[in-house]
Structure 1
């Protein structure tokens, strides 16, 4: 690996809004990881001496990137605590458990197998936005000619992490039957230890970490990845099924009838006990969430707030406001109630299972889902748009809507309200795509919203994607 003595320019496309992520061998390399380690160590403690936890997911490229990252951190004088293979939230936990100054997780999250990257935290706050831009600039600068030498030690935290997850079980001894699918992702590294700590009968699918993801892509927001889980729930007569993304910070849920509960529906359920414990509290949800969720939070006596999509952005907003609970349509769920305020799908699963186990006999996820108000909506629509163009497209659409006098929430992209409901369009911060969603009370209203979205795209010079074609 070349020594980046004169500084090392990171590919500009990998410096995302709330993490660093690229394609291994194209925009991301071990040299980038080493340069990032040097920059991060200097950024946290310019004179050296920062304690930095490092973890990694199960991707095939992660060990080499982990090694290079650690080398760079040591060259910056950091004291590195390697926590090893596991989910991203275990790394976040390690930073708190070990009283470290910062942490870096080597992970490609839910992206394809040839992608990888880094999620970072400094003490208890996420590293994102301007911080990531600053790290890119610092990596490009020549490091000190005689930097202080750091140290490395292996510091397993899995048992302490699992004990902490199980400590908040509040469902008594009710024996639920649960099917778990970590999708061969990093959550699989600790899942057996977690299920051993919980009551009930637990069936684990795809429970070996495998960076090729042989069973299916680990993205619980994609219904195509949930067929195996749905079949297993039916076969086992399970109460519910749980799915995780590649690094274990996003949760998917299947009820006992095989139906998907989306992120906003999961959050609506979890809000009930949290708001009972914190009357009038703020609950945050991203702009993609259904109006049903915001109405439900208000009906429970809470204060709903619509926020930008992005795990780092939501964690920062939670810290600013003191909100005890937040969530995204993507399945990121954040508990500051009895926990640390970061997105941890395994912890959210424990809280969800405890809530279900505590319901009266005969009450299930299926009955709760049946009782929720029904809206007609699209799934999350994702269509390609080059990274170099997607934000300019959004600027053109936002300006046109403003000129037309449309009712627009511009917290993140545009969420346009009409008598039919609402449509959303935003640029993804992690991929070269635009993301859209529409919701209405009626099928006819949904068609009109889809048409309005298509009109806005055409007016901005974007070819109409197939999912919106008439």
Structure 2
């Protein structure tokens, strides 16, 4: 039964079909989830992958035999399971998805009541142990099963984030990457004044145009070409389960997620003066300056959805953003959404009269950044220690909230080991000095290669 151990990760389940994840394992996970959480009722949904529906049925069977009533919301994005769990006030939710992994993978993301995350520190290891040992207790009751369409309520909720009367008739390129986002755009477009140019719009688990992961540069060309061909105002692309969205300006340039965090913080502070905004520690200067200049409170949290959500709850923060294109919203049960961000950005463009390019250009020049650079290293811990020692006598401050952050007068960097793969991730930013940022980035990469 060693296959269980390989599919369970730090935050979720992800594995290759059928050796690491199959219907039998999905059933066992359902039984284990029901045994551990003892939920009365659980929402399930599934993404557009070819194996997702049958896995979700096996999962449902396990949940029901474990005594839980199952509410199946059908094919959806991960955030629709988060929404339905809190909207229907049930005890938990599970989405069958492998997001942007290759097409022969699948997985699951789990929440408990109020859509609170279940990850390694908060029950996922217990669920793994119970499933692995098949040590669940027999349930006295068989749970029921019903299907429910929560999408209309979800669409209604999305529209509450913007004043639709202020939206201008923007021309928007959207690229769902043959994932699940297209169906939501189709459901919401009649209520918005936008003209849509739809690229790779139809859901297709064969991924005929490559795995839906807009972070890969080779996947960006179709979006960029459509923006330029149609002279669109902006472009949006999503990953497969659309909990992350990525932006392109009217010229087709990719906008770093870091600057989107600042824009969304600004959007929320217009609506909620003096609110708290949570951000990750990789790149911070732009967000902190924007939030503080508008009278808000910028709060740094460790990277990762479980940490951000927990910190947001603690601080009652209205919005939390990670430069990796995860955006979290208090009114969305503190969960991440790939739909709310573009609505807010479109509203900002409409109200400010500035293009997305103009909105971010000023911030990009003020705080140029390297973007996240991944390096595969034998010994991440030793490398971080060597880098810290190298700069120890020059740094103004050193922070270990998440990996290693070192700050100097005119530049700073964050270097952290990935939670999910054998790489370290480097981010560098400077104060209005592109050349310095580039020079320090090159220097650090060389230092790490020789450490």
Alignment partner of 1:91 out of 81, 88, 112: 81
Alignment partner of 1:181 out of 163, 175, 184: 175
Alignment partner of 2:438 out of 428, 442, 446: 446
CA distance in 1, matches of 2:245, 2:37: 31
CA distance in 2, matches of 1:235, 1:69: 45
CA distance in 2, matches of 1:274, 1:145: 48
| Aligned position for 1:159 | 152
CA distance in 2, matches of 1:69, 1:384: 36
CA distance in 2, matches of 1:283, 1:145: 45
Alignment partner of 1:369 out of 360, 369, 378: 360
CA distance in 2, matches of 1:30, 1:382: 34
For 1:131-150, list aligned pairs within 5 A.
Answer: 131-141=123-133, 142-145=135-138, 148-150=141-143
SS of 1:257's equivalent in the other structure is coil
| Aligned position for 2:299 | 305
| Aligned position for 1:38 | 31
CA distance in 1, matches of 2:104, 2:410: 41
Structure 1 residues 89, 455: closer, same or farther in 2, change over 3 A?
A: same
User: Is contact 2:72-2:147 (8 Å) kept?
Assistant: yes
Alpha-carbon offset, residue 400 of structure 1:
4.4
CA distance in 2, matches of 1:178, 1:354: 13
User: Is contact 1:412-1:426 (8 Å) kept?
Assistant: yes
TM-score (normalizing by structure 1): 0.87
CA deviations on 1:233-252 (whole Å, 9 max, x unpaired) are 12222111111111011011
RMSD across aligned positions (CA): 2.3
CA deviations on 1:275-313 (whole Å, 9 max, x unpaired) are 133333221111223522222222222222222222232
Structure 1 residue 190 and structure 2 residue 184: aligned?
Answer: yes
| Aligned position for 1:11 | 4
For 1:341-356, list aligned pairs within 5 A.
Answer: 341-356=334-349
Structure 1 residues 89, 445: closer, same or farther in 2, change over 3 A?
A: closer
CA distance in 2, matches of 1:447, 1:219: 29
Structure 1 residues 432, 209: closer, same or farther in 2, change over 3 A?
A: farther
SS of 1:126's equivalent in the other structure is coil
| Aligned position for 1:111 | 101
| Aligned position for 2:119 | 128
TM-score (normalizing by structure 2): 0.90
| Aligned position for 1:20 | 13
CA distance in 1, matches of 2:19, 2:428: 35
Alpha-carbon offset, residue 202 of structure 1:
1.6
Unaligned runs of 5+ in 1: 1-7, 460-470
Structure 1 residue 378 and structure 2 residue 408: aligned?
Answer: no
Unaligned runs of 5+ in 2: none
CA distance in 1, matches of 2:78, 2:161: 19
Alpha-carbon offset, residue 420 of structure 1:
5.6
Structure 1 residue 396 and structure 2 residue 387: aligned?
Answer: no
Alpha-carbon offset, residue 445 of structure 1:
4.9
Alignment partner of 1:216 out of 172, 193, 210: 210
Alignment partner of 1:293 out of 284, 287, 296: 287
CA deviations on 1:25-75 (whole Å, 9 max, x unpaired) are 343332222111111111111xxx520000111112212221221121112
User: Is contact 1:59-1:212 (8 Å) kept?
Assistant: yes
CA distance in 2, matches of 1:177, 1:268: 23
Alpha-carbon offset, residue 104 of structure 1:
0.3
CA distance in 1, matches of 2:80, 2:138: 35
SS of 2:43's equivalent in the other structure is strand
Structure 1 residue 412 and structure 2 residue 402: aligned?
Answer: yes
Alignment partner of 1:74 out of 36, 39, 64: 64
User: Is contact 1:376-1:446 (8 Å) kept?
Assistant: no
CA distance in 2, matches of 1:291, 1:219: 27
| Aligned position for 1:51 | 41
CA distance in 2, matches of 1:305, 1:168: 22
| Aligned position for 2:195 | 201
User: Is contact 2:265-2:287 (8 Å) kept?
Assistant: no
CA distance in 2, matches of 1:303, 1:191: 33
User: Is contact 2:66-2:139 (8 Å) kept?
Assistant: no
CA distance in 2, matches of 1:106, 1:34: 12
Aligned pair count reads: 440
For 1:241-260, list aligned pairs within 5 A.
Answer: 241-260=235-254
SS of 2:203's equivalent in the other structure is coil
User: Is contact 1:56-1:107 (8 Å) kept?
Assistant: yes
Alpha-carbon offset, residue 454 of structure 1:
4.0
Alpha-carbon offset, residue 220 of structure 1:
2.5
SS of 1:174's equivalent in the other structure is coil
Structure 1 residues 395, 50: closer, same or farther in 2, change over 3 A?
A: farther
| Aligned position for 1:421 | 411
